[in-house]
């Protein structure tokens, strides 16, 4: 417990798991008996980011306790002290578990009503479906006021919602000022749902109402004590993250000292700090984590003169609380709500959609557990393809999926009885995409698509500096991670063909992205927009109907490539060339399976290197390798030198000295462990043997005859130069997609000829990612 004046409570001795996690425990039983005569003790309990976790996830102190257990905690405090207030800091609903989600969070709202929630800040998820949904569906059902002072009417500083609420207990008026993360608009919600709204700075808006509520003028509201409920927070439990120069540090330092405590949310961190305000006096700054795992507790002692005497703070485990209320009515009411909700969810959620052959996972951070929205993911690419397939009739060619819309993994392992390995139920699919966004098709130019990909690098100063878009089958691109903002995307292809900046494609995104959500403003600029009316979850249902067994896509659809700058005259024998690569593996893969990558030209393997699978947090740079080689010379002897994990070919002469040869410029081709190839628009001269021909024979055109089919294509004249694992030409294997067909998940990307106009977006690199067809485990025939 942080004591901000002389402590009135004895701090419990002994370490626990909560203490180790930065959560401080205090009295096991609430008490109002410590106040001096004439003083009033007020207990304020709070939760944040509950996200519809109405069911218990276990009894351990680090598990979501469920709504019924939380109701018991609140009632216990009220019985011990009638001057108890129960508050929330937002995100009560949205991104919920299936039990609440399937009924549009009505069970969660009903449960909080049964607990007599007094006030809540507006979180970003309260606006998932727009302002009309908040003021309609949510507020119509909720029996508490929602407050936010800094969501304003566009072009003004006038609040669009109630900025504050006063709760009176024991004759003391406690004013709760609400505030919402400034990233809300346009980054966290669909701009189309919040038209006419804007974000004002939290500090200035809070200070404005702190002044009004303490200026002695009854006509604009008056409070004896002020508490800030702010849906923004420190990113970790470290004190430095709450006091630095970031968004939250500015709040803790800048909010008026008239505010006696800052109760925060949004980042799902857990902390109980004492931080000085502008007047130098410390005040509580707390956050409880999320999902109802913990609750916050402020205890205020207010004198007969209505002045705050002291305030203490703590964050405690809901499951770790042992008090049992005498009056069980609220607990029983909440239990009934949850039981009924679970019964309905069990019936709907148990319905089978289909099967998967392996995990469909999101990207992970270096701890291999936490979600990494900056990494390319199997799940993101799969969902993008699901959404493209759902809009085939609208002519969709490519789809993009935002990582924040994927809330959990789709796992192969059984979740329990009656759920065999590999089965995907309605509930499991719904938990992946709980937002019920509709799918929107629109026309976008190559330039607009490139701009959208550039916007994966988010505006400076955000907690997540990079958001990796999932992309549908057939679309691929390369990027230069070292380039300047706006110039990182180096090439884009669709089905093997380069995308020109003035091309127009039919693109599918969800309704959140279509209006520029997550700072992807380029998607808002699409034309001929049409809402398909298909909800994202229904798209999954339909996809499984058409594809009862789904094999996860394993190809990389974005690869970082940086090569040695190409000389004006091109590379010559003896030149040293370096190719630096990144994003060669998925962070969710077993690092032991990373394998190696090679670079070749023609039939010559020039270099090979092991792939470093080390994960780079918040980015997509895992799977790195550098390939260095010397361009072979015509007079060199054939040899291969091995140094470390790099194989360097200094020459290749596989023919007898007397055999005729020719030198051709061959493109560099990268081969990944799964057989996927990447062809770069960078060539090196390679000497190869040719069959002797009679130049007088009219039936032969010679090796450089321009009439020879495919003579100007890389790979010696094959259509596209892509070869599957079985040695067959990829172009010959690529099926024709009939109108209305679902995506062929094994489609190769045909490599365009270097001389045929490969799009160069950044000077030296153009690329085509050639995705190999996935073969059945025990077959040599390639399948999808």
393 pLDDT higher than 90: no
Q: 284 by DSSP, 3-state: which?
A: strand
How many CB atoms are located within 10 Å of the residue 650 CB? 18
Q: How many angstroms separate the Cα of 8 from the Cα of each of 34, 86, 275, 277, 323?
A: 7, 22, 19, 22, 20
| CB of 287 closer than 8 Å to CB of 23 | no
Q: Supply the pLDDT for residue 268.
A: 87
Is the pLDDT reported for residue 783 higher than 50? no
Rounded percentage of the chain residues whose pLDDT exceeds 90: 67
The DSSP output letter for 723 is B
Q: What are phi and psi of 192, to 5 degrees?
A: -65, -25
Least confident segment among 472-486, 505-519, 681-695: 681-695
CA angle, corner 476, sides to 736 and 492, nearest 5? Answer: 105
pLDDT digits (tens, 9 = 90+) for 744-765: 222 233 333 332 223 333 333 3
Residues 329 and 530: their CA atoms lie apart, in Å, by 50
Q: What's the pLDDT score for residue 697?
A: 56
Residue 707: Cβ within 10 Å count: 6
* Six-digit token string for 781: 């025939």
Q: Cβ contacts of residue 439 below 8 Å, gap of 6+?
A: 387, 390, 391, 508, 509, 510, 511, 531, 532, 534, 535, 536, 539
The CA-CA-CA angle for residues 414, 420, 424, to 5°, reads 75
Q: How far apart are CA 434 and CA 345, in angstroms?
A: 14
pLDDT in the model for residue 706 = 35
Rounded CA-CA distance 470/402 in Å is 6
DSSP states of 499-510 as a string? PPTT-EEEEEEE
Task: In whole angstroms, give the CA distance from residue 256 to residue 2.
Answer: 20
Do the beta carbons of residue 89 and residue 263 sit within 8 Å?
yes
- pLDDT tens by residue, 156-212: 999 999 999 999 999 999 999 999 999 998 778 878 889 999 999 999 999 999 999
- Phi, psi for 669 (deg, rounded to 5): -125, 125
Long-range contacts formed by 213-220: CB under 8 A, 24+ apart? 213/164, 213/166, 213/175, 213/177, 213/258, 214/258
**CA dihedral for 441, 445, 449, 452, sign (positive or negative):** negative
Furthest C-alpha separation in the chain: 118
pLDDT in the model for residue 701: 43
β-sheet bridge partners, residue 46 = 87, 296
Report whether pLDDT(272) > 80: yes
Which letter, b or e, does each residue of 719-728 get, where b requires 16 or more Cβ atoms within 10 Å of its Cβ? bbbbbbeeee
Say how many Å lie between the first and final Cα of the chain, rounded: 59
Coil, strand, or helix at residue 42?
A: strand
Residue 694 pLDDT exceeds 80? no
Scored b (16 or more CB within 10 A) or e, 183-192 reads: bbbbbbbbbe
* From 295-304, 353-362, 507-516, 645-654, the region with the lowest mean pLDDT: 645-654
What residue ranges in 307-388 does DSSP mark as E strands? 308-317, 352-356
Burial of 16 from C-beta contacts in 10 A (0-12 / 13-18 / 19+): middle
Name the residue with higher pLDDT: 577 or 515. Answer: 577
Do 225 and 308 contact (CB within 8 A), yes or no? yes
Name the average pLDDT for the chain: 83
Q: Summarize pLDDT for 705-729 with one digit per residue, the tens.
A: 433 333 332 223 222 333 333 333 3
Least confident of 30-39, 110-119, 131-140, 240-249: 30-39
- Residue 228 pairs with which residues in a beta bridge? 177, 262
- For the chain, domains (ranges, CATH) are 2-231+289-344 (3.60.21.10), 351-550 (3.90.780.10)
Confidence of residue 688 (pLDDT cuts 50, 70, 90): confident
CB atoms < 10 A from the CB of 291, how many? 22
Q: Which tokens belong to 753?
A: 């000829």
The residue with greater pLDDT, 463 or 714, is: 463
Distance CA 395, CA 391 (A): 7
pTM, rounded to two decimals: 0.63
* Residue 608 CB coordination number (10 Å): 21
- Could you give the angle at the alpha carbon of 485 between the alpha carbons of 483 and 489, nearest 5°? 60
pLDDT (0 to 100) of residue 762: 33
| 480 close to 488: Cβ distance less than 8 angstroms | yes
**φ and ψ at residue 207, rounded to 5 degrees:** -65, -35
Question: Cis omega before residue 663 (within 30°)?
Answer: no
Contact 93, 52 (CB under 8 A): yes
Q: Any residues with CB less than 8 A from the CB of 533 and at least 6 apart, and which?
A: 438
Query: Strands across the sheet with 625-630, in order?
Result: 497-498, 489-494, 475-479, 558-563, 576-582, 625-630
Spatial contact of 670 and 598, defined as CB atoms under 8 Å apart: yes
304 CB contacts (<8 Å, ≥6 apart)?
38, 39
Give the list of residues 6+ apart from residue 698 with CB closer than 8 angstroms, or none: none
Cα–Cα distance, 615 to 622 (Å, whole number): 5
> Is the confidence at residue 471, as pLDDT, over 70?
yes
Strand ranges (E), 208-361 = 225-231, 259-264, 270-276, 282-288, 294-302, 308-317, 352-356
């Amino acid at each position: 417990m942080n004591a901000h004046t002389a402590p009135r409570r004895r701090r419990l001795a002994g370490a626990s798991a909560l203490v180790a996690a930065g959560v401080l425990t205090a009295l096991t039983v609430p008490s109002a008996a410590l106040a001096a005569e004439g003083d009033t003790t007020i207990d304020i309990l709070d939760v944040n980011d509950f996200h519809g976790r109405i069911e218990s996830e276990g009894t351990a102190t680090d598990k979501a306790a469920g709504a019924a257990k939380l109701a018991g905690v609140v009632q216990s405090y009220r019985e011990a002290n009638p001057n108890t207030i129960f508050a929330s800091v937002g995100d009560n609903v949205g991104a919920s578990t299936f039990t609440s989600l399937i009924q549009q969070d009505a069970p969660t709202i009903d449960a909080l009503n049964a607990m007599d929630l007094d006030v809540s800040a507006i979180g970003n998820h309260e606006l998932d479906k727009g302002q009309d949904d908040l003021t309609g569906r949510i507020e119509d059902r909720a029996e508490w006021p929602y407050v936010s002072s800094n969501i304003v009417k566009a072009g003004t500083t006038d609040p669009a919602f109630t900025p504050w609420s006063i709760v009176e207990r024991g004759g003391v008026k406690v004013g709760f000022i609400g505030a919402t993360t400034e990233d809300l608009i346009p980054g966290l919600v669909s701009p189309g749902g919040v038209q006419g709204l804007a974000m004002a700075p939290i500090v200035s808006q809070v200070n404005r109402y702190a002044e009004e509520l303490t200026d002695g003028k009854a006509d604009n509201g008056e409070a004896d004590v002020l508490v800030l409920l702010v849906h923004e927070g420190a990113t970790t439990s470290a004190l430095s993250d709450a006091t630095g120069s970031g968004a939250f540090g500015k709040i803790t330092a800048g909010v008026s000292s008239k505010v006696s405590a800052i109760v925060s949310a949004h980042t799902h961190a857990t902390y109980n700090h004492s931080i000085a305000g502008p007047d130098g006096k410390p005040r509580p700054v707390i956050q409880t984590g999320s999902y109802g795992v913990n609750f916050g507790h402020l205890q205020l002692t207010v004198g007969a003169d209505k002045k705050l005497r002291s305030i203490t703070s703590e964050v405690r485990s809901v499951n770790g609380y042992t008090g049992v209320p005498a009056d069980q009515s609220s607990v029983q009411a909440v239990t009934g709500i949850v039981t009924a909700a679970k019964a309905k969810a069990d019936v709907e959620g148990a319905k089978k959609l289909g099967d998967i052959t392996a995990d469909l996972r999101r990207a992970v951070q270096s701890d291999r557990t936490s979600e990494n929205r900056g990494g390319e993911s199997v799940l993101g690419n799969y969902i993008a393809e699901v959404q493209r397939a759902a809009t085939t009739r609208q002519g969709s060619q490519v789809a993009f999926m935002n990582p924040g819309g994927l809330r959990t993994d789709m796992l192969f392992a059984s979740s329990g009885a009656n759920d065999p390995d590999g089965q995907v139920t309605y509930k499991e699919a719904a938990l992946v995409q709980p937002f019920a966004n509709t799918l929107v098709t629109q026309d976008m130019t190559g330039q607009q698509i490139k701009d959208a990909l550039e916007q994966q690098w988010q505006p400076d100063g955000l907690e997540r500096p990079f958001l990796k878009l999932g992309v549908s089958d057939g679309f691929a691109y390369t990027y230069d991670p070292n380039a300047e903002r706006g110039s990182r995307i180096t090439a884009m292809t669709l089905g093997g063909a380069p995308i020109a900046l003035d091309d127009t494609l039919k693109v599918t995104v969800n309704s959140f992205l279509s209006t520029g959500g997550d700072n992807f403003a380029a998607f808002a600029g699409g034309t001929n927009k049409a809402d398909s009316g298909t909800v994202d979850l229904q798209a999954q249902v339909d996809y499984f109907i058409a594809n009862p067994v789904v094999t996860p896509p394993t190809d990389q659809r974005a690869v970082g490539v940086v090569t040695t700058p190409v000389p004006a005259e091109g590379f010559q024998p003896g030149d040293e060339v370096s190719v630096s690569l990144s994003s060669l593996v998925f962070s969710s893969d077993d690092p032991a399976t990373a394998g190696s990558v090679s670079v070749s030209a023609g039939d010559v393997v020039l270099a090979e290197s092991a792939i470093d699978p080390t994960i780079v947090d918040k980015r997509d740079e895992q799977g790195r390798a550098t390939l260095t080689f010397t361009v072979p010379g015509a007079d060199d002897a054939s040899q291969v030198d091995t140094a470390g994990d790099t194989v360097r070919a200094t020459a290749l002469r596989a023919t007898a000295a007397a055999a005729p040869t020719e030198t051709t410029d061959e493109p560099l081709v990268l081969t990944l462990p799964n057989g996927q190839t990447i062809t770069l628009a960078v060539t090196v001269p390679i000497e190869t043997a040719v069959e002797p021909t009679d130049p007088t024979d009219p039936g032969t055109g010679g090796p450089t005859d321009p009439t020879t089919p495919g003579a100007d294509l890389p790979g010696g004249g094959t259509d596209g130069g892509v070869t599957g694992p079985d040695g067959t030409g990829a172009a010959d294997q690529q099926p024709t997609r009939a109108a209305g067909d679902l995506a062929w998940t094994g489609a190769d990307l045909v490599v365009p000829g270097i001389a045929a106009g490969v799009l160069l977006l950044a000077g030296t690199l153009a690329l085509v990612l050639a995705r190999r067809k996935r073969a059945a485990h025990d077959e040599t025939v390639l399948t999808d």
